[in-house]
Chain A
C-alpha cells in the first residue's frame, strides 16, 4: 500500500500495480473500513480497480494528518480474496436479440464465436464490480472470459440507448442512461439501473457481484423493455 497526494483535499491509496481479485478485495475492504470513519472528516471515497481516492475536509486535517490516519486505519486490514460471500449477487436480465444487440455480429467476427456461444459465455461468468464511474451507476464488470475479449468501436456512438449491455477489452458493462459510448453492444436490459429517488441510487457497489440472465423478447417486453433508439 502506498499513499500519494491528490490535490488540496484528497489523497489516493494504491493497493496494487495490476488489476487482480486480491487488489480489488483490498480496495473493497478499505472502502468499508473508511465508510465508518467519523462523520465529516472524509467527504468522498472513490474506489477503483487498484486504488481508493479519499477526499477529506482540509480545514479539519492536513495532508500529513490524513495520511497518518489512513496508515493507522488500513494497516491491519484483513482481506479475504474470496469476499463474494459478503455481497449478494445482482441478477441482470438481458435480451440478446440482434434488434438491441446491434454489435453482436461484429463481436462474432472479432471472437469467432457464434451468437449463441457469446450469450452462453457472457451469462456463465459471475462478475465483480471493479469500479463505478464514467456516468452515475456505470459499473465496470470483470473479468470476461478470454474468448470474449473485443476491442472498442473505432468511432464511438453519440447516443447509446439506456440499458445497453456491452463489451470492451476483458470487461462488460451496462449503460444506465443514454450516453455516448464506444463499447460493443450485445443486448439490452429492462432493469432500472439508476433511480435518483431510491437509496442507494444504483443496485451496484464496488466489490459486489453481478450475473447476467438471458431472457427472450416476450419477457423483455413484459419487464418493460423498449426498442426505441434512445
Chain B
C-alpha cells in the first residue's frame, strides 16, 4: 500500500540522508541536494531525520493515494495541489485514500521535497536508499532509476496529526540573488591574490548545465597556477576550476575523485540554497570561515529542536 505514480514528472527520485562510508570504493554519497528542506519535511511529520522522501525536480509529478496518511511539502513551490486545490507548502496536510496529489511547475525554487508519515519504505543498498542514476543504485528497486509511471511508493497508513508548519522567517526566498560562503581550502594557495579578488568580486550566472552531480557557472574566468592536479578525493560542495576557468560546484552525486584544482567548498546549507536556483540565476561568493559554516549547521539543527512536533492529535 502507499501511493501510485500516475506521472513521474521530469525527474523525481527517492532520497534519504545519503550513502556514507563507501566512497573509498568509488561509491558516491547521493542524498538530498537541499538538505535544509529535506530536514524540515521529515521534522514536520515527526519522522526520523533521515527518512526516505521524494525529491521532485521541476514538477510534473502526479500520484494517487491508496492510504490515509500525512504529508509535508517543503522546498520549491511547484504549485502543488490535492484534488486540484492549491495547498500551502512548508506545512503538513492530511491525505486520504483516493486523493490525487499533483506538482505543476516551479513558481519559486527548483526542487520540492515530499515526505510522508514514517517515510517511504524503500530497500536499502549499502545503508541507504538514495537514488544515484549514474551508478545504478538506490530508489524503489535499488537499480538507480527515477520514478516511472505505474511505480508504487510503499508507505504505511498513519493516524491524523496536528497541522505543523514552518514559520515564515524560516522559509527561504529563492528569488533573492544568492551569496555563497566559500570555505577556502584544497588548492587555494595555487590561485594568486589577483585571481581570488576577481573570483570574490564577480557575479556568476548559473548555466543550463546543472544536475545532481554539479552546477556549472559562467562569468569571469579564474586561473590556477596549475591546470591539473593529481586526482584526489572531492568533498561535497567543492568549487573546482577546470581549464576554461569557469567554476563548477560539485553536488551530491559527484564523482568521488577528480583532478581539477579547487578553491575550497561551499557549506551544506549553501548547497541547499544553490540547489533551488535554476539557469540564469546569479551567484556571488564571499570567504567564509569553516567554523562559521559548522556553527550555522549546528544552529539549524538546534533551532529545529525548538519545534518539537511529536505531539500527534
Given contacts A49-B230, A53-B232, A177-B136, contact A134 B255 (CB under 8 A): yes
B20 nearest CB across to chain A (Å): 5
Give the chain A neighbours of B236 by CB distance below 8 A. Answer: 7-10
B17 to chain A, nearest CB (A): 10
Give the A interface residue count (CB, 8 A): 46
Contact, CB under 8 Å: A50 / B230: yes
Total interface residues on B, CB under 8 Å, equals 45
> What's the least CB distance linking B24 to chain A, in Å?
5
From 20 to 38 in chain A, residues with beta carbon under 8 angstroms from any chain B beta carbon are 31
Q: What is the CA–CA distance of A42 and B293 in the complex, to the nearest angstrom?
A: 18
Question: Which of A6, A19, A131, A202: most chain B CB closer than 10 A?
Answer: A6
Interface of A is mostly: loop
* A64 nearest CB across to chain B (Å): 8
Q: Mark B218-250, 1 if CB is under 8 A from A, else 0.
A: 000000000000111111111000000000000
A7 touches B183 (CB 8 A): yes
Q: Contacting B238 at CB < 8 Å: which of A7, A62, A133?
A: A7
Query: Cβ of A201: which chain B residues have Cβ within 8 Å of it?
Result: 22, 25, 27, 126
The yes or no answer to B205 lying at the interface (CB within 8 A) is: no
Chain A residues within 8 Å of B20, by CB: 43-44, 55
On chain B, the residues within 8 Å of A50 by CB distance are: 230, 232
A67 to nearest B CB, angstroms?
10
- Residues from chain A with Cβ under 8 Å of B258 in the complex: 133
Known contacts being A5-B264, A8-B290, A196-B126, is A48 close to B230, with CB within 8 Å? yes
Closest-CB distance, A166 to chain B (whole angstroms): 16
A133 touches B255 (CB 8 A): yes
B26/A7 in contact, CB under 8 A: no
> What's the least CB distance linking B289 to chain A, in Å?
9
**18 interchain pairs (CB within 8 A)?**
A6-B186, A7-B266, A7-B267, A8-B237, A12-B233, A19-B230, A46-B233, A46-B234, A46-B256, A46-B257, A47-B233, A48-B233, A48-B257, A49-B232, A55-B20, A132-B25, A133-B231, A196-B126
Which B positions have Cβ atoms within 8 angstroms of A?
A: 20-27, 29, 125-126, 134-137, 142, 183-186, 230-238, 255-258, 264-268, 290-291, 293-294, 297-298, 301
Top 3 nearest A-B pairs by Cβ distance? A53-B233, A46-B233, A7-B265
Task: Beyond the given A7-B236, A9-B294, A53-B232, please list 19 additional residue pairs across the A-B interface where CB-CB is below 8 A.
Answer: A4-B186, A5-B186, A6-B233, A7-B183, A9-B268, A44-B22, A51-B230, A53-B233, A132-B25, A132-B256, A132-B257, A136-B25, A138-B26, A196-B126, A196-B142, A200-B25, A201-B25, A201-B27, A205-B25
